[in-house]
Structures are given as C-alpha cells and as structure tokens.
Structure 1
C-alpha cells in the first residue's frame, strides 16, 4: 500500500491573493503620498508666478489678492483665476492640471496658461506649445465657456487638453466671492426675515445662498444674497446688497437691506419701506429670472427711487446667477458620467478582439495574428499612444482613474491587470502592447543571436525589479523625476516624446534583434509587474519574487514616512 499523499498546507491558496494585496497596498501608499501633498479642495489656490500671468497679459506687473492684474502704473488690465484646487477632479492622462484663466476688463476670456501639472510632462508640454488650444475659449463669457462642448483637443495630448477644459468649466461653475460685500450678513438682519435664526450655512453649489438654521440645526429656510451677482449695479453712488428670504419651498417671503454704498437717508428709506420689502412675496425664486421687470411696475421707494430700483434689479440678477450656477453644476454632474467618444469605441473594440484572439485557437495563425498586430501597432501605438506604463499607473494611483475621459484606456488597463490574475494569461504583453508587437516582428530576423550566460542572466532579469523599486521610491517620496523616461512607450507619440524614452525604445529594439524579446524579458517593469500577478503552477508557493515585492512595499512605506 502506497504512502499517503502529503496534504497541501491550507494557506497555500491564499499566497496568490497576497500578491494582489501587496500590489494594492503599494498603490495605496502612492495615493496617500499624493494626498498628503495635494492642495485641499476648499483651501487656498497656489501662489501665482507673474511670468506665467504675463503670457496672458504681457504688460502685467503684479496681481492683487482678488486676482486683478495690474501694470506698472497700477492700471487694471483684467483679472485671472486658477482652476486648482476646485478643478483638480479633472484627471487627464495621469493627473490634473492647474490652469490659469485670463479675463479682460470686459469679463471675456483672454486665454489659458498652464500654471502646473501633475499629468505626464510630455503631454503638458505639448499643450503649452499649442497656442490655438490655449486661446480656444477667447472672447467667451463665463457662462458661454461653461456651455462650450466643441473643443479641438491637442493631438498627442488629447486627454490632458480635454481635462484642462473640464477643469476650467468646473472652476467657472463655482460661486464667486464678493469684494465689495465680503462678510456674511449679521444674524440681527437675518432675524428680520427669520426671527428664530441661530446660524447660517453656505449652500454647497451657490455660496451666496445661505441655509438658515435654528438652535436645533433645523432648516428654517434660505437667504439669497444679491452680492456678488449685483455688485456692478450702481444706484445713486454705489451698489447695494439685499437679502431675499426663501421658505423651504424656495418661495420669497421678504427682503432686507444689508449694506449699501449709496448715501443716507436713501438707504434708510429703502430699509424701512415694508411695501417695497414685501413686493416679491409669494413668487418662486426660480421663476423670477423669467419675469419681465416692467410687468411688476416697480416704481421704487419715494425719495430713494434710484437706490430701490437698483436694489430690486439686483434681486433679479442674483436669482438668475443662482439658477445659472445650478444649471452649470448639473452640466458638471453630467460630465462625471461616463461618455464614450469615437476613440473609446475603437480602443474597446481592439481590446475585445485582442482578448478573444488570445483565448481562441486562432491565436497562432498568421492570417489572424498579423493583421491584428498591425492594428495594435498603428492604432494603439502611433494613433493613440495607449500603453500600460508605470507613469500611467502611478498617475492613476496618485490622482484617480479618468473614467469619463478615457474609458477605452481604462478598459485596456483593467484587462491588462485582471486577466493575468484570473486566467493565467498575460493578454496585454502577448497581444495588446504595440512595443511587444514590434519585438515579435524583429525576433530572429538576423542570423547571429546572442544568448546571455548563466552568470549574467540573473543580473539582466533583475533590471525590471530595480526599475520597479525606483518607481515606488519616486512615487512615494514625490520626487520630480519623470517616469516616462524609463520606458519606451511615449516614443510612439514621437512629436511629444523626450530623448530619454526615445533612447530606451531604440536600445530595446536593437537588442531584440540579437536576443528575442530582449526588452520584454530584461527591461520592462510593467511586464514584470503583470507577470508577477499572473496565476501559474507555482502561484501557491512563496518565492524570491514575493520577497522582492515585500521589499518594494517596505521601501514605499519608508519613503512615505521620511
């Protein structure tokens, strides 16, 4: 009778899952490192560089705290806004871009400029060189820019440029802060409309709409400030801020005057006129912008006609501005939904065909394999520049996944990562990587071939692990090194590629002429990562590669802490 078979340890099936968890943990460290150094979404905008402001206003000398651009004689040239941190949710190829928006004195956009970018260096640089794109919104008002949809993206930096426009629209869709009436109204004035008011809470979408609460934090209604929407309406000598009281159904219940730049006693005449202050009662604030002011026949307060009529007009301005802000936010929410473009449809089709081919008996047939390789090389490589790279993966780990801008690319990365884990097949490296395709074409094309010695082979195989360690260190420590330079993939988008990535591409392809798949075997950190998580016959055993992965995790943790 044969000896009983040795029972397999119960923990072995979990070894492979542990590898995936190590990868997730490294991604979380990279994300945490980026989060700790990123500006808060409700924090101050980064400090402006006057040299960049001068790209939009060549004679600019300084920028005031409110964004007003002045020349050396202190004359106003216009104003600027920057999209960060409000627009940082707009992720391009691998991260957000902080865009400077210039406005003329007529409140028309006069140009865009890049202040800083967490996107790939080459993509941001290509956008900077593309003047027609940076001036594609020129002459538009804030509302027109928000509604703009027909944008010509920058070739080679499509995702980066589209994300920049999204960041601009997100920034312009937010509320503006008043410079003439910067302070919240006092509770004493608010209590003229809501006697039980104890606190005010700005609305998330339109900050000039204040939620009024009692001592139990129960909503009593809302207060709409006419500032800053009506700050440019001048009565006798200046603007007036009014409060419009709204019940919980957004019906007007009264008005109150807060402060005015007009003269006494005109202000008191308006402040004490009950008929005027209750003139709009019973109307929906959302229906007000559609009403013709002449229909209401507002004659104004006797003795303060100009002040009161201007104050009433300001209510209409504020109601319209609030409505437009809500409509703009709805458009921004629509942008958050996944939208397929022609580029996405094509990329998704290539990915699906590649996956089906990888698992079909036709995968080795030249009549099926070669035409598909040509499609991958031309479309994913040169037309789109769609590669799974360390720069891309790190950028997404740091800033988030651009679901709505690049769902096709997201599907490509998802297939690259998930299929090796669950199917044992590294579909990306074998079928969907354009650089892998080129190496398959160059394999054994010359007679003389070089085979590494047994002593040299382990050192060559260690190169991808060393590169992965460098990637983790750069990402976790937030160093400024561009990770595109360690891989050849940006070389396919040749008009934006740097010399580092071109050099890696050329050396790798020349080496593949003498050693089959040289770069894939001895130089590719992304391929090594995908191969590490690939399920195979040895996946239940803890190996030296696992210790390397644990070392990378520890390296990332140390870089994060120090």
Structure 2
C-alpha cells in the first residue's frame, strides 16, 4: 500500500510538471508570435525584408527632400546641410520597446536644426515624454551639443537613455564627417556606417548600469531567493515595501506585456544588460519558478503593484465577502478579457493596450491620467478586497497562469 501511494504521488508530480512545462511552452510561443507579428523580429533577429517602414507608430515620416548624396547613415542636402540617421550607428542601443533611431538635422553652419524620431516600438506616452529632451540639443553647434550633459527623464528612463545614446553616436559621426576634406568625405560615403562608428559604443555599454539599476537588481534578487528559504512575515512586509518603493516608484521595474515584447523582440546585449538585469530576473522567476513548484512566486513576492495592494489590505481586518457566484463571474471576466487581448495582440489589431496596464501608474510623470485613476481605485478597493486587480483583471498574471 505504501509503495502504491508513493507511486501515485510520483505520478501526480510528473503530471503536474509536464502540465507546467506545457504552459511555459505556450507562453513562449505566444510571446514569440506576438513579437514577430508586431515587430518582425525575435530576440534581435530581423525576419522582415526591406528594413523599417516609412511611418512609425507615431506617424513620423522620413524626409522626402531632394538629396545630392547619401549613404545609409548620412545625407547631404542641396544647401549643404546634413542629416544623420542613427539606425546603424546605434543598432546596439535599446529603449523599452527596442531600437530608438533618430534623424539629426544639422544646418550648413554646423548647428543642430531639428531632431526627428525614426520608426520605433516605444510606448507613445513614454516616448513623447522622453522626446522633450530634443530641446537640449536643438539650436546648439555640434560641439556644444556633444558637451551638453543631459540626464534621463524621470518616468521614461528607458526611452530617454536610448535617445541620449543615439544623439551621442549621431553627433560624433557628424563631427567626424565635418573634419574631413572633400576627398575623404567621398570615401566616407563608401564606408560602412556601422564600422565608422567603432569606438562610439562605450557610452551605450556603460549607460545601462545606474544606481537605480543596481538597487533594483538587488531587490529583485531578494524577492527571488529569500522567500525560498525564509518564511517570515516581517521580512515579507519589508520585501513588499521595497518592491513598491524601489521597483515601482523609483525605477519603474515590473513585468508587463510591453517589457516582455521588448525582451522577445530585441533580446539582450551587452549595452542593455545593465538596464534589463532586474527585469530579466523577474521574467526568469515568473516563467521558470512554476517548474520547481513555486507558481505565482513573482506575483506574491516581486510585483510592485501586487505588493502595493497587499500592503493596502493590511490597513483593516474587515473584508468584503464575495459570493461564489460573483467570484466565478469575475474569474470568467478575467479569462475572457485575456483571450480578447491575446487575439488583438496576435493579430496586431490593437497592440496599444499593452501601454496601459496599471503597472505604468508607477511612472506617474508620463502615465495617462485614467491609468493613474484606475490604479488608485484598485488600491482603495484592495483595502477591503484582497488583491482585486491581481485576481480579477491582470493580463500579465493571466499569461503566466495559461
């Protein structure tokens, strides 16, 4: 009898593992398909021919002015002005959604006249917030613009860092071109633009690591490891507070479809590893911990919005009791909502919904007003209903339960 019970237990364990593994495969396939459909890329490999389109999500259109000479990176206009395209110069620089190439217009006097965004997959609200940095360089000579110390914009850190790195690369390329004689400039057009940018990558490689990035990685590691060995209520509350303050309010580090699409579409390289180290730990935990019998570990111990809801629930012991019928209806709503959103994402019908998950409320300087309002309402509701957003809405949580 004992041997039979052990056999049944092992058989049940094996079935649970296989079911969890199948769920992981489904998650990977969903995200891979979405990255290919939306961006034509998977882990940094471009699967589409013909390169970028002329129009990006923000309606930016490439210049149609007559050109006297051009290569893939530098264009000389009839009046002697030049336009530098950073797509090849900064191909290793990633924002939140992927590359953030720019077109830098420099007049014949060497002054930065204007800056345009090339096609990119950044969240519109955050990118528009980050593009306020353009004014830091406009109206300055190339040398003055290169000497300008520009800090990342709070609430759009990923996008603004990518913009800064692209400007550094583009301005350095323009300066190098301006210092050449006429014959050398002709050779410059025949050269490989990416190769001509050798030595300009140090900034992008170093820019990923910041104080906030280090602290976020530390907090993410604590949330990933400590609960495996320590079952202490006080420490759990400390971890929840760290998640809210560090991962949420300070660094805006959390799992979302936008981040997952960024990772599956663009992958991780040396230049972006520092920026994406903490999110990568979160993805690792969310996707692989269920295989070792820890489903929901990320949601319970690392998610900043889930942590904020749990902390709010500690304000009172009086809770609203949901009837079984209402509970079933809310769970069905969550499943239907997730299914609809997956169809929209996989058919590329409307992918903008990814930019409005309630996690983005932590990036309050650039989050939309209604997202902030909804986040506050769910936090207030969580005082009486345990983690209502996590249990009945969260599309990201639904993905990892699929």
The equivalent position to 1:350 in structure 2, one of 215, 219, 243, is 219
In structure 1, the partner of 2:65 is 63
Please give the alpha-carbon distance, in whole angstroms, between the structure 2 residues aligned to 1:455 and 1:325.
Answer: 61
Please give the alpha-carbon distance, in whole angstroms, between the structure 2 residues aligned to 1:3 and 1:316.
Answer: 82
In structure 2, the partner of 1:453 is 323
Residue 460 (structure 1) shift: 0.8
In structure 2, the partner of 1:488 is 358
Given that 1:491 and 1:502 are in contact with CA atoms closer than 8 Å, whether structure 2 keeps it comes out as: yes
Residue 424 (structure 1) shift: 1.2
In structure 2, the partner of 1:196 is none
Question: Relative to structure 1, is the Cα distance of residues 348 and 377 closer, same or farther in structure 2, using a 3 angstrom cutoff?
Answer: same
In structure 2, the partner of 1:117 is 120
Please give the alpha-carbon distance, in whole angstroms, between the structure 2 residues aligned to 1:316 and 1:526.
Answer: 51
Residue 92 (structure 1) shift: 0.9
Q: Deviations over 1:6-34 (max 9, x none)?
A: 76499734332211111111122112213
Please give the alpha-carbon distance, in whole angstroms, between the structure 1 residues aligned to 2:320 and 2:185.
Answer: 80
The equivalent position to 2:244 in structure 1, one of 363, 377, 383, is 377
Please give the alpha-carbon distance, in whole angstroms, between the structure 1 residues aligned to 2:315 and 2:97.
Answer: 36
Please give the alpha-carbon distance, in whole angstroms, between the structure 2 residues aligned to 1:348 and 1:513.
Answer: 29
1:126 and 2:125 aligned:
no
The answer for unaligned runs of 5 or more in structure 2 is 69-74
The equivalent position to 2:142 in structure 1, one of 135, 140, 145, is 140
Residue 110 (structure 1) shift: 3.4
Residue 45 (structure 1) shift: 6.7
The equivalent position to 2:369 in structure 1, one of 485, 493, 499, is 499
Question: Relative to structure 1, is the Cα distance of residues 160 and 486 closer, same or farther in structure 2, using a 3 angstrom cutoff?
Answer: closer
What TM-score does the superposition give when structure 1 sets the normalisation length?
0.57
What TM-score does the superposition give when structure 2 sets the normalisation length?
0.77
In structure 2, the partner of 1:395 is 262
Please give the alpha-carbon distance, in whole angstroms, between the structure 1 residues aligned to 2:209 and 2:129.
Answer: 24
1:80 and 2:83 aligned:
yes
Please give the alpha-carbon distance, in whole angstroms, between the structure 1 residues aligned to 2:90 and 2:192.
Answer: 21
In structure 1, the partner of 2:71 is none
1:95 and 2:98 aligned:
yes
Residue 124 (structure 1) shift: 0.2
Residue 126 (structure 1) shift: 0.6
In structure 2, the partner of 1:329 is 198
Q: For residues 172-183 of structure 1, what are the structure 2 equivalents within 5 Å?
A: none
Q: Deviations over 1:291-349 (max 9, x none)?
A: xxxxxxxxxxxxxxxxxxxxxxx469959x97997573244388468953222211111
Residue 89 (structure 1) shift: 4.7
Given that 1:485 and 1:500 are in contact with CA atoms closer than 8 Å, whether structure 2 keeps it comes out as: no
Please give the alpha-carbon distance, in whole angstroms, between the structure 2 residues aligned to 1:428 and 1:34.
Answer: 26
In structure 1, the partner of 2:382 is 512
| Structure with greater helix share of residues | 2
Residue 170 (structure 1) shift: 5.6
1:364 and 2:233 aligned:
yes
Given that 1:122 and 1:496 are in contact with CA atoms closer than 8 Å, whether structure 2 keeps it comes out as: yes
The answer for unaligned runs of 5 or more in structure 1 is 55-59, 71-75, 176-227, 234-313, 533-548, 550-562
In structure 2, the partner of 1:28 is 32
1:472 and 2:342 aligned:
yes
| Structure with greater strand share of residues | 1
Given that 1:40 and 1:85 are in contact with CA atoms closer than 8 Å, whether structure 2 keeps it comes out as: no
Question: Relative to structure 1, is the Cα distance of residues 348 and 443 closer, same or farther in structure 2, using a 3 angstrom cutoff?
Answer: same
CA RMSD of aligned residues (A): 4.3
- 3-state secondary structure, aligned to 2:95: coil
The equivalent position to 2:290 in structure 1, one of 416, 420, 427, is 420
Query: For this pair of structures, how many residues does the alignment match?
Result: 382
Please give the alpha-carbon distance, in whole angstroms, between the structure 2 residues aligned to 1:41 and 1:511.
Answer: 49
Please give the alpha-carbon distance, in whole angstroms, between the structure 2 residues aligned to 1:400 and 1:170.
Answer: 21
- 3-state secondary structure, aligned to 2:103: strand
In structure 1, the partner of 2:54 is 46
- 3-state secondary structure, aligned to 1:513: coil
Residue 120 (structure 1) shift: 1.6
